[in-house]
Structure 1
Amino acid sequence: MHENGEPADITNVKSISKIWLVPIVAICMGAWMFYHQWSNQGPLINIVFENASGLEVGKTKIKMHNVDVGEVKTIALTEDLQKVLVTARMSANSEGLLRESTEFWAVNPRISLNGISGLNTLVSGTYINMSTNLEGPSSRDFVALSAPPITPSGTPGLHVTLNSDAEFAFKEGDPVIYKGLKVGEFESIYFNFEERVVYYNTFIQAPYHKLITTNTKFWNTSGVEMDIGANGFKVKSSSIETLITNGVAFGVPEGMPQGNRVSERSYFNIHDSYDSAAEERYKESAKFVILVEDTVRGLHVGAPVEYRGIKVGKVLDINPPNSNQQKWLDAGVAIPVVIGIQPGRVEQTDDDIGIEFINRQITTWVENGFRASLQTGNLLTGALFVNLEQYANVPSVEMEKFQDYPVIPSISNEFSQITEKVSAILDNINDMDLIQLSEAANKMMDDISASANSMNSTADDFAGTLKQMEEQQVSAKLANALEGIAELTSGFSSGSRTNNEINETLDTLQQRLRELQPLLLELNQAPNSLIFDKAPKPYLQPGIRKNNTQQERK
């Protein structure tokens, strides 16, 4: 009631408690966090794997350059139940990395001939690695690689395609060598059934890709290369890695220009060796035929053709098609051998002008004794080569034709000439009457034996005569020596003149010594008597002095 007694007005006031602010704030923060998470999360992608070995939901990470860019969310089988479908959530900043060229693969410990990889997963566990070159349209569906790529996408360098019509000699991961240094690898292999050619997609790492030019040649350096040919025995090896696995090397052969640099995918042939790769700089050949009447065993396609020891070409074909093969069994039929003389090897231009020069030169030389022969280049293997040389004592002939090829006349090789000489000697021996030769030889041996006996008898007689002569000479010399001794002794005998003279000399010597005895005694007593003049003193002898003393005492 009011003070004036009137009743008070009572109204109900509705208010919200402050306690409700806590859930409201929590809801707002949750909503904000949800929105922030939703707005900042990356896209979902699907990756198909062969199997889910080592993959775990919520644990397996997706990495690029060892930085986490995603995480596996679900793992399930594909609809055909043949593979595994992995759904992963990528980070927001990885949107531009998801291209059709992007590659994914599971990283596990691996041991192969190319090395050991993925050992860090023994501690951290399996993870999914990715690489991209940022080319092509965006994509969300991918198929994982069964093994790590040889060259991840985006690696700087150059892709080239190598081809070979030989057997499958290389595999993925085999090295590409430059001067003993590994600079690339084989990435993939493709066989073209129509061409019957094997293509190898190969990657050359930067900066070595700058070495690839239009004149670059690739050749096989697998294992140890052994070559036994007309030039001898050769053993070569490239690097320790190629001793275990296969590999190729590349470079510009000596004598060739470097050529223009290659900046896009190009095709190159794989040659069997460096020598065969270097042969390609001689592209043109002047072709000739030599008709060989001897055996061609030991002669192979590619064998050298030499002029006075200098290589000028090689053998191109032996017994080419459409030759007289049906007449092999006929006597006197020669075997055609096609050879090529390369203008580039004789300081001529490697073109039609050089070939024309070679043809004119050979035609002139053939008329003046230019001949071909097969020579042994290696005694161990029996490998042959074609030798071209000028001969002075051969008849002049004109150039003939064989299947449109000019024919260079041939002569027998050294072995055939030796064989002919041996055969001639054997024929002469066969024509001899061996019985008469045997009787004549026996008679000659009897005569020789009789002559020998006569010589032995004569030698014995001569030896006896020499012995008698020597004995007589010794006796005469001994007698003369004895006579000399007797004469000498008679000269010294008693009563001889020599003996008397010796005795007289000895007496005279004794007398002179007695005369000198007083002088020697005086010098002994007074050495200065020879210099100073003194009165002579009586010479007193010991015996006389003794007598005088005795007389005084009496």
Structure 2
Amino acid sequence: MSSDKPQNASESELPQAVPVRRRRWAPSLVWLIPVVAAVIGGWLAVHAVLSRGPTITISFQNAEGIEAGKTRIKYKDVEIGEVTSVKLSPNRQSILATAQLSKEAADYLAEDSRFWVVRPRISGGGVTGIGTMLSGAYIGMDVGKSAARKSEFTGLETPPIINADLPGHTFFLRADNLGSLNTGSPVYFRRVPVGQVVGYELDAKGGFVRVSVFISAPYDRFVTSNSRFWHASGVDVSLSADGLNVSTQSLAAIALGGIAFETPLADNAGIPLSDRNFILHDAREKALQNPDREMQPFRLRFHQSLRGLSVGAPVDFRGITIGEVTAIGVEYMPERKDFDMTVDIRTYPSRLDTLSRGSRISGKLSPQQLIGNGMRAQLRSGNLLTGQLYVALDFFRDAPPAKLIVRKGMPELPTIPGDLEELQRVLQRIVKKLDAIPFDNIGQQANDSLKSLQQTLDSVKALSDGLNKETVPQASKTLEQLQQTLEATRQTMKADSPLQQDVRSAAQEVKETARSFRALADYLDRHPEALVRGKEAQP
């Protein structure tokens, strides 16, 4: 027991372990900085994702002026995006430009929105994109009005003429040909530029050209259902009874072409927006003609050359154009073994009704009646310089009788030879008569006559030479003698010459003798018996 006590005493002197509660770990301020940075980075990442705009793809024919990371996209000169990549399309026919737009531009991606590359361009309408020579090319944008949205677009090769938000209306014109029109050609109303040509395309069958024109507000209200459009390109030169007239819209219309329109009759109601289609005429005179209410086709057969006649040539009735030529053909006639030259025409009888002050002429006379009265078709020369022909309808009272013939469903009007054709026939007859004249014999006789005349002239010359040598001196002497004789006669005929005195004396005696004979005649007249008895003595 004693041995155990000291051991317990030593144990009591040792310190006793006391259990202590473990302290919690406290974060250090050093770790606060990366935590804040991570929070800010996360917030920026979330903000970048939330503020990131849509990504679009635009296809162009080539990548001229487009660079990834440099080319900007602008709308009304405000930057709204940037091109991020440029690559070839899978079919290698175009390039695909991928662009990142701002979030605000998400509403701009309408289905009819348009994109194009803005670079320096020189065209007939002027010079554009000069500012890009220093800043570099960029992609312009025009926001469409469609409610549909899309992210893939086809870029335009040329900038659009008008913006989608420009007030006004687009009208569509149907023309036989484009003429000198082009995109950007001006549109005039009373020679005031009010719009532009914004596009053109061929009909699906190639039958006509469809021209789109945009007329700005407020001028679009002048386009009504009765408006007429015509080509105003170049210079219109016409020669009439008033003299030479030269008309043009402007110098721009001469260089770029143009379109003009006019409303001949007032129509304040305008046109419905669903009907904006018009006809584009070739000239103002044709555009302002009254609309033809009815049309009547005919076929003409000529036995002469149609050189100078073309499709569209006028059909004239005493100076009034009542139709036009629609087709020219040829038809073989087996019974005559010859060809007929066929001309199809289209007439508008209502044009005569318009000039008849209200009376309807076309309804009173039928083609058969007109033919019976002598109406015939004839080719006449419209211009002696160019040789252009036109079809003239007129009455020829001495024309052979004829009837209206309907062949293959087409009525045929009788024809007579033209004035020029008749003149050619007369000239041919004259030429034949001239050919019958023996000009060779006449020439030979004339040659013989000239030889005889030459011999005569030689004889006359020889005689003249002889006269100069012999006869002239003798004639000079004769003239001198004649002069002397005349001088002597003049001296003799003087008043104081002896001959004159003798003549006066003789004349006095003749006078006295005549007086005596007169007295004797008077006495015998009173006393005729004196011839028998003698003169009685006077008491």
Q: After TM superposition, is the score higher than 0.5?
A: yes
For residue 212 of structure 1, what is the aligned residue in structure 2?
Answer: 223
Distance 1:95 1:436 in 2: 104
Give the C-alpha shift of residue 305 in structure 1: 2.4
Residue 53 of structure 1 pairs with residue 53 of structure 2 = no
Residues 1:211 and 1:139: Cα distance change in structure 2 (over 3 Å): same
Letter of the 1:156 partner, please give it. Answer: P
1:112 maps to 123
| CA distance in structure 1 between the partners assigned to 2:391 and 2:44 by the alignment | 88
Q: Deviations over 1:391-446 (max 9, x none)?
A: 44445x25331425555443332233333333444455566687998899899999
- Is the Cα–Cα contact under 8 Å of residues 65 and 138 in structure 2 kept in the other structure? no
After superposition, residues 392-471 of structure 1 pair within 5 angstroms as 392-394=397-399, 397-403=401-407, 404-428=409-433
| Deviations 1:357-389 (CA, angstroms, capped at 9, x unpaired) | 2752x5444333333322222111221222333
- Is the 2:190–2:262 Cα contact (8 Å) retained in structure 1? no
| Alignment partner, residue 335 of structure 1 | 341
1:387 maps to amino acid: A
Residue 346 in structure 1 maps to residue 358 in structure 2 = no
Question: Residue 282 in 1 paired to residue 292 in 2?
Answer: yes
CA–CA distance in structure 2, aligned partners of residues 202 and 238 of structure 1: 17
Q: Quote the offset at 1:136 in angstroms.
A: 0.8
Aligned letter for 1:281?
P
Q: CA deviation at 1:74?
A: 3.7
1:304 and 2:304 are equivalent in the alignment: no
Whole-angstrom distance in 2 between the partners of 1:275 and 1:409: 31
2:114 alignment partner in structure 1? 103
Alpha-carbon separation, structure 2, partners of 1:144 and 1:365: 64
- Cα distance change, pair 36–262 in 1 and its aligned pair in 2 (3 A): same
The 5 A counterparts of 1:109-508 are: 109-139=120-150, 142-164=153-175, 166=177, 172-178=183-189, 182-194=193-205, 198-221=209-232, 239-245=250-256, 247-252=257-262, 260-264=270-274, 266-274=276-284, 277=287, 281-282=291-292, 284-319=294-329, 324-327=331-334, 330=337, 334-348=340-354, 356-357=362-363, 359-360=365-366, 362-394=367-399, 397-403=401-407, 404-428=409-433, 480=490
Identity %: 23
Q: Equivalent residue for 2:23?
A: none
Contact 2:202 2:209 in 1 (8 A): yes
Letter in 1 for 2:343: V
2: CA distance, partners of 1:250 / 1:357: 36
Are 2:352 and 2:362, in contact at CA under 8 Å, matched by a contact in 1?
no
> What is the DSSP-based 3-state SS (H/G/I as helix, E as strand, rest coil) of the residue aligned with 2:322?
strand
The change in CA–CA distance for 1:414 and 1:104 in structure 2 (over 3 A counts) is: closer
Q: Structure 2: which amino acid aligns with 1:63?
A: K
- Partner residue of 1:543? none
Any conservation in 2 of the 1:367–1:399 contact (CA below 8 Å)? yes
CA contact (8 A) 1:101 1:136 kept: no
RMSD, aligned α-carbons = 5.6
Structure 1: distance between partners of 2:386 and 2:445:
46
1:283 and 1:393 map into 2 onto residues whose CA distance is: 34
Q: 1:474/1:138 Cα in 2 relative to 1: closer, same or farther (>3 Å)? A: farther
Match of 1:536 in 2: none
Task: Name the SS for the 1:378 alignment partner.
Answer: coil
Deviation (angstroms), 1:178:
4.7
Worse-matched range after superposition: 439-448 or 408-417: 439-448
CA distance in 2, matches of 1:147, 1:430: 71
Distance verdict in 2 for CA 1:27–1:226, change over 3 Å? same
* C-alpha separation in 2, matches of 1:31 and 1:435: 121
**In structure 2, C-alpha distance between the alignment counterparts of 1:450 and 1:147, rounded to whole Å:** 92
AA aligned to 2:166 is: T
CA contact (8 A) 2:119 2:130 kept: yes
Which residue of the partner structure matches residue 529 of structure 1? none
Q: Distance in 1 between matches of 2:414 and 2:287?
A: 31
The Cα shift of 1:46 comes to 2.5
Aligned partner of residue 166 in structure 2, secondary structure: coil
**How many residues align structurally?**
447
Partner of 1:90: 102
Distance (whole Å) between structure 1 residues aligned to residue 170 and residue 343 of structure 2 = 42
Task: Flag the 1:359–1:91 CA change in 2: closer, same or farther, 3 A.
Answer: same
Counterpart of 1:108 in structure 2: which amino acid?
R
Query: Partners in 1 of 2:86 and 2:425 — Cα distance?
Result: 86
Q: Which residue identity is paired with 1:378?
A: N
Residue 148 of structure 1 deviates from its aligned partner by 2.3
The AA in structure 2 aligned to 1:251 is F
- Specify whether residues 393 and 83 from structure 1 end up closer, same or farther in structure 2 by C-alpha distance, changes over 3 A only: closer
SS at match of 2:170: strand
Decide whether the 8 Å contact of 1:286 with 1:358 is kept in 2: no
**Any idea what SS the aligned residue of 2:122 has?**
strand
Provide Cα deviations, 1:269-323, integer angstroms capped at 9, x if missing partner: 4444445555683353333444423332222222222233333333333347xxx
TM-superposed deviation, 1:48: 2.7
Question: In structure 1, how many angstroms separate the alpha carbons of the residues matched to 2:38 and 2:414?
Answer: 106
Q: Which residue of 1 aligns with 2:54?
A: 44
Q: Is the 8 A contact 1:176 1:248 kept in 2?
A: yes
| Aligned counterparts of 1:255 and 1:327: Cα–Cα separation in 2 | 54
Q: Which moved more, 1:73-82 or 1:364-373?
A: 73-82
